[in-house]
């Protein structure tokens, strides 16, 4: 080898070239890694690598939000940094994603070492070539505006599972998150046979133990241990992975009842119907509609659900909607409905102050409740004719009933959607002009105020009605952030506090203080107050303490077709 073949270090040209190439390769590799990490941080605040046991093998980014450095995070369990209410849910997602590889836009709460809640949205991928490790990219503060916070969900006090509306909200999110992992989610509806007759024979303690056992079993087998709900007294539902056997769950429910009640549970049984919770290709709104429709169908008592997949429920819902539209139109035209009267009583004296007239359709074969049908009528613009039919029906009924003696006034519901229609307002004013004798027998209650777009025009209509001696009530007060705007813009005689507002007020000192403040504000402006969902004496006393004037709920009486059922509580009845 000649001197020309060596460089100044004494290495051969070939070795020197290889050394330079190696250094260049390492430098390039480092640059590439840094570039990939930099690109990842365009989307994420925090990058994590998890091993097969969900322990953190690598961390980068804003780890201080977790109260730790990248070095101290290594070896820690990722699940230790997940909020308690989401821990089981996160484990289910990682397990499901482990079978299918990918997680996309999952929303959950992390927690720092100091216990601070950190809402995040994350995506991830499990790579077989890296010992099946998970690689997660997390963004602090979810992009999904509709993320359901655990504290906003309401549980049934007996079973401990989510109430119907809360379940629907939580299930939509869980179904879509689980579906994004590629895992197969399922929705199982459970009917408890003879549970109504059974619980009527039980004491409060036995009933609570039974329902708590049922709820506990369903929660245990649901996604995250928290995606189970109660639809009514006998129907339940839970979301779960395809590794759960619903028949096995039914058996556990029946065994629990036998252990708790012995021979009393001889007629008790659990039956279920399961469908695939396939949220793929559906928007959040579509999943919600399909879910609510399926829940309604199951609660009608059908032995089997009309669909096998959640996505198929949309087609079934469309057909059902077409049939319901025809039903609404026919019912309105024929006035094929009855009115029942629910008392609204003075909280201090228990006397009936007025009634609310509630519609009941005579055709009892409909799968939907009256409330659901009226809600659909509002959504489809069919409520205008129905509202007018109810007003005429109420006047006719009260005209006949006046012959039996004095009767407290009756509140008839009017949708803000109807009052926004000039033709409806014109027809209503004509009727009120011709029946001024009714202004002490009928008052009006504004529903769907949140849908009102032009409050100034709406208030003018309300004043047209009030100027003829008819009182006006604002429904669903306190239900939204705009309630005070409505009270400021609309001159009314009474406001009715929404049921959930009342429930929160009775559940905490803070809730009671807020309700007291709102009641005081109404009183100072000359507006009387009504509270919904007064189910017992304890609630009535709490509301009276808050300064509420009147209450409505089963504590004062269920709706009756004959308001004179409550005649012993009319003013002057003594």
Whether residue 72 contacts residue 87, with contact meaning beta carbons closer than 8 Å, is answered with no
Q: What is the pLDDT of residues 148-185, one digit of tens each?
A: 666 678 888 889 999 988 998 888 888 877 776 667 78
Write out 270-337 in H/E/C secondary structure.
EEEEEEECCCCCCCHHHHHHHHHHHHHHHHCCCCCCCCCEHHHHHHHHHHHHHHHHHHHHHHHHHCCE
> What pLDDT does 12 receive?
47
> What pLDDT does 568 receive?
94
The pLDDT > 70 percentage for the chain reads 84
| d(C-alpha 358, C-alpha 347), whole Å | 21
Kindly report the CATH class assigned to 335-569. alpha beta
pLDDT band at residue 353, thresholds of 50, 70 and 90? Answer: very high
- For range 198-225, the mean pLDDT: 91
Candidates 3.30.360.10, 3.40.50.11740, 3.30.450.20, 3.40.50.1980; CATH matching 46-140: 3.30.450.20
Residue scoring higher pLDDT (108 or 273): 273
The pLDDT > 90 percentage for the chain reads 42
Q: What is the pLDDT of residues 93-128, one digit of tens each?
A: 888 755 556 787 788 888 877 777 788 888 888 887
User: At residue 519, does pLDDT exceed 80?
Assistant: yes
User: At residue 422, does pLDDT exceed 90?
Assistant: yes
> What pLDDT does 9 receive?
42
> What pLDDT does 265 receive?
85
- For range 194-207, the mean pLDDT: 87
- 454-460 contact pairs (CB < 8 A, 24+): 454/420, 455/485, 455/486, 455/489, 455/490, 456/489, 457/420, 458/416, 458/419, 458/420, 458/489, 458/490, 459/489, 459/490, 459/491
pLDDT band at residue 541, thresholds of 50, 70 and 90? Answer: very high
> What pLDDT does 45 receive?
79
Whether residue 108 contacts residue 85, with contact meaning beta carbons closer than 8 Å, is answered with no
> What pLDDT does 531 receive?
96
Whether residue 46 contacts residue 121, with contact meaning beta carbons closer than 8 Å, is answered with no
Whether residue 182 contacts residue 100, with contact meaning beta carbons closer than 8 Å, is answered with yes
User: At residue 71, does pLDDT exceed 90?
Assistant: no
Give the mean pLDDT of the chain: 83
Q: What is the DSSP letter of 123?
A: E
Whether residue 97 contacts residue 182, with contact meaning beta carbons closer than 8 Å, is answered with yes
CA 466 to chain centre: 36
User: At residue 144, does pLDDT exceed 50?
Assistant: no
Whether residue 157 contacts residue 145, with contact meaning beta carbons closer than 8 Å, is answered with no
> What pLDDT does 77 receive?
93
> What pLDDT does 410 receive?
98
User: At residue 344, does pLDDT exceed 70?
Assistant: yes
User: What secondary structure does DSSP assign to 24-56, as a single string?
Assistant: HHHHHHHHHHHHHHHHHTTT-SEEEEE-TTSBE
Determine which of 46-50, 58-62, 341-345, 487-491 has the lowest per-residue pLDDT on average: 58-62
| d(C-alpha 228, C-alpha 220), whole Å | 9
What phi and psi, each to the nearest 5 degrees, are found at residue 544? Answer: -60, -40
Tell me the chain's radius of gyration from C-alpha atoms. 31
Write out 501-554 in H/E/C secondary structure.
HHHHHHHCHHHHHHHHHHHHHHHHCCCEEEECCCCCHHHHHHHHHCCCCEEECC
pLDDT band at residue 1, thresholds of 50, 70 and 90? Answer: very low
| d(C-alpha 199, C-alpha 264), whole Å | 10
> What pLDDT does 482 receive?
58
- For range 206-223, the mean pLDDT: 94
Q: What is the pLDDT of residues 9-62, one digit of tens each?
A: 444 455 554 544 444 444 454 556 555 655 555 667 788 899 989 999 988 887
Domain segments of the chain as ranges: 3-40, 46-140, 150-318, 335-569
Backbone dihedral region for residue 258 (phi beyond 0: left; psi -120 to 50: alpha; all else: beta): alpha
Q: Pairing state of beta strands 102-111 and 117-127?
A: antiparallel
> What pLDDT does 21 receive?
45
What's the CATH fold of domain 150-318? Alpha-Beta Plaits (3.30.70)
pLDDT band at residue 525, thresholds of 50, 70 and 90? Answer: very high
User: At residue 279, does pLDDT exceed 70?
Assistant: no
Task: Report the SS3 class of residue 152.
Answer: helix
Nearest-5° Cα angle at 406, 404 to 411: 110
- For range 241-246, the mean pLDDT: 92
Cα distances from 345 to residues 530, 550, 554, in angstroms, run 9, 5, 11
Residue scoring higher pLDDT (317 or 175): 175
335-569 shares the fold of 46-140: no
> What pLDDT does 8 receive?
45
> What pLDDT does 143 receive?
43
| d(C-alpha 331, C-alpha 373), whole Å | 11
> What pLDDT does 89 receive?
85
| d(C-alpha 446, C-alpha 466), whole Å | 13
pLDDT band at residue 354, thresholds of 50, 70 and 90? Answer: very high
Q: What is the pLDDT of residues 435-484, one digit of tens each?
A: 988 999 999 999 876 667 789 999 999 999 999 999 999 998 876 555 77
Note if the pTM is more than 0.75: no
Q: Which of 213-222, 320-329, 507-516 has the highest mean pLDDT?
A: 213-222
| d(C-alpha 266, C-alpha 254), whole Å | 10
Tallying the residues shown for the chain, one arrives at: 574
> What pLDDT does 397 receive?
95
> What pLDDT does 389 receive?
96
């Amino acid at each position: 080898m000649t001197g020309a073949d060596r460089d100044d270090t004494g290495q051969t040209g070939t070795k020197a070239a290889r050394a330079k190439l190696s250094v260049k390769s390492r430098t390039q590799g480092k640059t590439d890694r840094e570039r990939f990490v930099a690109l990842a941080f365009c989307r994420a605040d925090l990058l994590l690598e998890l091993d097969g046991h969900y322990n953190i093998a690598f961390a980068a980014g804003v780890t201080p939000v977790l109260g730790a450095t990248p070095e101290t995070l290594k070896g820690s369990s990722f699940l230790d940094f997940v909020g308690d209410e989401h821990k089981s849910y996160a484990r289910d997602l990682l397990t499901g994603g482990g079978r299918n590889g990918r997680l996309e836009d999952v929303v959950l709460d992390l927690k720092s070492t100091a216990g601070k809640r950190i809402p995040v949205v994350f995506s991830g991928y499990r790579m077989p070539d890296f010992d099946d490790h998970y690689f997660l990219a997390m963004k602090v503060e979810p992009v999904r505006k509709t993320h359901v916070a655990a504290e906003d969900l309401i549980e049934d006090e007996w079973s401990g599972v989510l109430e119907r509306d809360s379940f629907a909200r939580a299930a939509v999110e869980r179904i879509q998150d689980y579906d994004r992992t590629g895992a197969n989610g399922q929705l199982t509806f459970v009917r408890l046979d003879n549970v109504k007759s059974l619980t009527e024979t039980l004491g409060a303690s036995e009933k609570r133990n039974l329902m708590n056992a049922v709820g506990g079993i369903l929660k245990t087998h649901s996604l995250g241990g928290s995606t189970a709900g109660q639809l009514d007294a006998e129907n339940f539902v839970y979301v779960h992975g395809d590794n759960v056997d619903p028949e096995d769950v039914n058996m556990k429910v029946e065994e629990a009842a036998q252990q708790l009640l012995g021979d009393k549970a001889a007629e008790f049984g659990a039956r279920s119907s399961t469908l695939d919770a396939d949220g793929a290709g559906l928007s959040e709104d579509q999943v919600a509609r399909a879910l609510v429709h399926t829940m309604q169908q199951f609660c009608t008592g059908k032995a089997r659900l009309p669909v096998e997949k959640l996505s198929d429920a949309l087609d079934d819902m469309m057909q059902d909607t077409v049939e319901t539209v025809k039903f609404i139109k026919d019912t309105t035209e024929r006035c094929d409905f009855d009115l029942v009267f629910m008392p609204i009583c003075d909280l201090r004296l228990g006397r009936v102050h007025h009634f609310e007239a509630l519609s009941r359709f005579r055709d009892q074969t409909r799968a939907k409740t009256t409330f659901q049908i009226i809600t659909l009528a509002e959504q489809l613009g069919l409520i205008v004719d129905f509202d007018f039919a109810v007003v005429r029906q109420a006047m006719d009924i009260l005209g006949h009933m006046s012959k039996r003696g004095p009767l407290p006034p009756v509140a008839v519901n009017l949708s803000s959607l109807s009052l926004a229609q000039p033709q409806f307002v014109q027809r209503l004013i004509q009727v009120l002009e011709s029946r001024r004798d009714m202004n002490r027998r009928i008052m009006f209650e504004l529903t769907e105020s949140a849908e009102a777009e032009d409050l100034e025009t709406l208030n003018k209509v309300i004043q047209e009605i009030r100027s003829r001696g008819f009182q006006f009530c604002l429904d669903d007060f306190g239900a939204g952030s705009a309630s005070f705007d409505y009270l400021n813009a609309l001159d009314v005689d009474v406001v009715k506090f929404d049921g959930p507002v009342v429930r929160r007020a009775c559940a905490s000192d803070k809730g009671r203080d807020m309700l007291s403040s709102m009641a005081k504000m109404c009183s100072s402006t000359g507006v009387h107050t009504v509270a919904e969902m007064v189910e017992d004496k304890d609630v009535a006393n709490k509301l009276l303490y808050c300064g509420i004037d009147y209450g409505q709920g089963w504590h004062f009486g269920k709706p009756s077709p004959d308001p004179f059922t409550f005649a012993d509580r009319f003013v002057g009845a003594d």
